[in-house]
Structure formats: structure tokens, C-alpha cells
């Protein structure tokens, strides 16, 4: 999560000097090169994608554009807070679309989490387009994650990761075709490379964690991204979270952690019954 935060901080800093699409393209070239080395190293084969892999990649493209567009305007911590409403939406989506059983406790957590989102957004008269873009990224991430569930087990994570990186890179390049490309200084190209190292390192570390521990346990650490992003925003840009932002963030984090821990407990109970 720290690697992901650092990546986003580099992109936020660079966004004042180049369009988001251009940064996605330049960072993507470095990310693809790194993945070609790292994915085989951690045992992830790059194979042939199928239709749901393409659908998942398209979802990632939409999430990236919405998330980074919000990041150019809002503090890093604010974007992370709104984006992490995604797991709450995923719980509701899994119940409504896939018919998964969601108990009363988890539905209550979803409602509390949505209250946290409303607290962060404030009154409708004060809503900003960037805040809605961050929330849109959370909604889009749910579609992306639901599409991920349709990908056959025969398609490896390495294939999904590489196709996603290629699609994000190409989509970013397409947006700056026709004259909006801004020449980058070599120092800025170096920062794009560091951003790529951050996003690739974060993905690699997360995959290694998933291969070592239980999914539900590892998922709890995703929420560490919110306080890390707030701390990084304060150290780099001097962004001080308001009490309203902190209160909403605590509700979103608490609700999300409750849902994850409930799922962890349910999985352990099923495993015990199976024995």
C-alpha cells in the first residue's frame, strides 16, 4: 500500500506539468518492462487472455482515468478515502448481482460506510466534480472486480496484470494523440519511472502476500492506504484533513474492516465444518 501511495504521489506532482493520459502512457511503458521481469520471477505466467480478461482491463482503464483525474485536484488522502468505499459497494453488488448471502451485520456496515461517504462529501451544494470522480472510481472498481470473478481459473494473474498494463498504457497514449503531448524533462521521465516502480512493486508485494496468507486477512491491510495517503499529503503538500474528512474516513475504514473480518470469520467456520 505504501508503494501504491508513492506512485500516486508522483503522478499527482507530475499532473501539473503534463496531461494525465500522457503520464499513464509514459509510466505504463516502464511498468510493462518491469512486469516482464517481475511476473516470471514470482511465478506468474503470461498467457493468452479471454473476453472477461479484456472486460476487466477496460474496467481498470476507466478506474484509472477517474481516480487520477480526481487526484489532480483533491488531496491524496481525500481521494483514497472516497475510493475505499469500493469494498462496501462490492459487498452490496455481490449480494444483489450474484445472490451471495450477506447478513444483517454486513448490510448495517454498508449503510454506516455510506454515511461516512456522505460525511466526506458534505452537503450537495458543496459537492465538487473531483470528489464525484473519486467516488465514480470506487463504483467503477466494483464493476472491474465483479468482472474479475468471471475470468476462468485457467487464465493466470500474470496474464490479467500484463493485459491491464498494456490497455492502460495504450488508452493513455490515445488521449494525447493530436497535439496535446507535452515534452517531458528527463527528470520528469525519471519520476514516471519511479511511479511505475511504485505501482509494479505494490502489485508484486500484494500478490506475494496473497500467496502467503489468507485473502481476507491480507485485505484488511488495504485500508492502511488511507492514513498513509493522508500522512504523505501532509508531508509533501501540507494538506491537513478536516475533522469532517477524518470522521468520514473512520466510518468508511471501520465498516470495511468489519465486513472483511466477518467474511474471514465465516470462511474459518466453513473450513471447521468441512473438517
Residue 247 lies in a domain: yes
For residue 99, pLDDT beyond 80: no
At a CB cut-off of 8 Å and minimum separation 6, what does 46 contact?
36, 39, 40, 156, 158, 159, 162
Residue 271 lies in a domain: no
CB 255 within 8 A of CB 87: no
**pLDDT above 70 as % of the chain:** 97
CB 65 within 8 A of CB 23: no
Residue 272 lies in a domain: no
Q: How far apart are CA 213 and CA 231, in angstroms?
A: 27
Residue 100 lies in a domain: yes
Which residue segment(s) compose the domain that 52 sits in? 2-266
pLDDT 10s digits, 70-83? 999 999 999 999 99
Question: Cα 207–139–56 angle (5° rounding)?
Answer: 50
CB 251 within 8 A of CB 119: yes
Average pLDDT, the chain: 88
pLDDT, average across residues 234-245? 94
For residue 264, pLDDT beyond 80: no
For position 262, what pLDDT does the model report?
A: 79
Residue 167 lies in a domain: yes
Residue 67 lies in a domain: yes
For position 63, what pLDDT does the model report?
A: 95
Provide the sign of the torsion angle of the four alpha carbons 148, 209, 80, 113, taken in this order.
Answer: positive
CB 20 within 8 A of CB 68: yes
For residue 199, pLDDT beyond 70: yes
For position 44, what pLDDT does the model report?
A: 85
pLDDT 10s digits, 30-56? 999 999 998 898 888 899 999 999 999
For position 105, what pLDDT does the model report?
A: 84
CB 116 within 8 A of CB 250: yes
For residue 126, pLDDT beyond 80: no
For position 20, what pLDDT does the model report?
A: 94
pLDDT band at 127 (very low <50, low <70, confident <90, very high): confident
For residue 91, pLDDT beyond 90: no
Residue 94 lies in a domain: yes
Phi, psi at 155, each rounded to 5°: -90, 115
Between 96 and 247, the higher pLDDT residue: 247
Q: Which helix (H) or strand (E) holds 58?
A: helix 51-71
pLDDT, average across residues 177-190? 89
CB 32 within 8 A of CB 167: no
For position 142, what pLDDT does the model report?
A: 83
Please tell me the total count of domains within the chain: 1
pLDDT, average across residues 4-27? 95
For residue 226, pLDDT beyond 70: yes
- 173 burial via Cβ count (<10 Å: 0-12, 13-18, 19+): middle
Residue 274 lies in a domain: no
3-state DSSP helix/strand/coil % of the chain, to nearest 5: 80, 0, 20
**pLDDT above 90 as % of the chain:** 58
Q: DSSP characters for 96-160?
A: HHH-----HHHHHHHHHHHHHHHHHH-SGGG--HHHHHHHHHHHHHHHHHHHHHTS-TTS-HHHH
Amino acid at each position: 500500500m505504501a508503494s501504491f501511495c508513492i506512485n500516486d504521489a508522483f503522478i499527482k506532482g507530475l499532473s501539473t506539468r503534463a496531461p494525465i493520459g500522457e503520464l499513464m502512457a509514459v509510466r505504463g511503458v516502464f511498468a510493462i518492462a518491469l512486469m516482464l521481469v517481475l511476473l516470471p520471477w514470482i511465478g506468474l505466467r503470461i498467457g493468452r487472455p479471454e473476453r472477461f480478461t479484456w472486460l476487466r482491463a477496460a474496467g481498470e482503464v476507466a478506474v484509472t482515468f477517474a481516480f487520477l483525474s480526481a487526484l489532480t485536484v483533491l488531496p491524496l488522502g481525500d481521494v483514497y478515502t472516497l475510493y475505499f468505499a469500493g469494498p462496501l459497494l462490492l459487498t452490496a453488488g455481490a449480494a444483489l448481482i450474484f445472490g451471495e448471502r450477506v447478513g444483517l451485520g454486513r448490510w448495517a456496515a454498508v449503510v454506516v460506510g455510506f454515511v461516512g461517504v456522505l460525511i466526506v462529501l458534505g452537503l450537495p451544494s458543496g459537492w465538487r466534480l473531483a470528489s464525484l470522480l473519486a467516488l465514480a472510481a470506487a463504483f467503477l472498481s466494483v464493476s472491474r472486480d465483479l468482472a474479475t470473478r468471471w475470468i476462468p481459473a485457467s487464465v493466470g494473474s500474470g496474464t490479467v496484470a500484463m493485459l491491464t498494463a498494456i490497455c492502460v498504457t495504450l488508452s493513455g497514449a490515445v488521449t494525447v494523440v493530436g497535439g496535446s503531448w507535452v515534452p517531458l524533462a528527463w527528470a520528469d521521465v525519471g519520476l514516471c519511472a519511479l511511479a511505475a516502480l511504485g505501482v509494479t512493486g505494490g502489485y508484486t508485494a500484494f500478490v506475494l502476500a496473497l500467496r502467503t496468507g489468507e485473502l481476507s486477512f491480507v485485505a484488511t491491510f488495504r485500508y492502511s492506504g488511507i492514513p498513509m495517503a493522508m500522512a504523505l499529503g501532509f508531508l509533501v503538500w501540507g494538506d491537513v484533513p478536516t475533522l469532517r474528512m477524518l470522521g468520514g474516513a473512520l466510518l468508511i475504514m471501520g465498516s470495511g474492516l468489519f465486513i472483511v473480518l466477518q467474511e474471514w470469520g465465516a470462511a474459518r467456520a466453513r473450513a471447521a465444518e468441512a473438517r
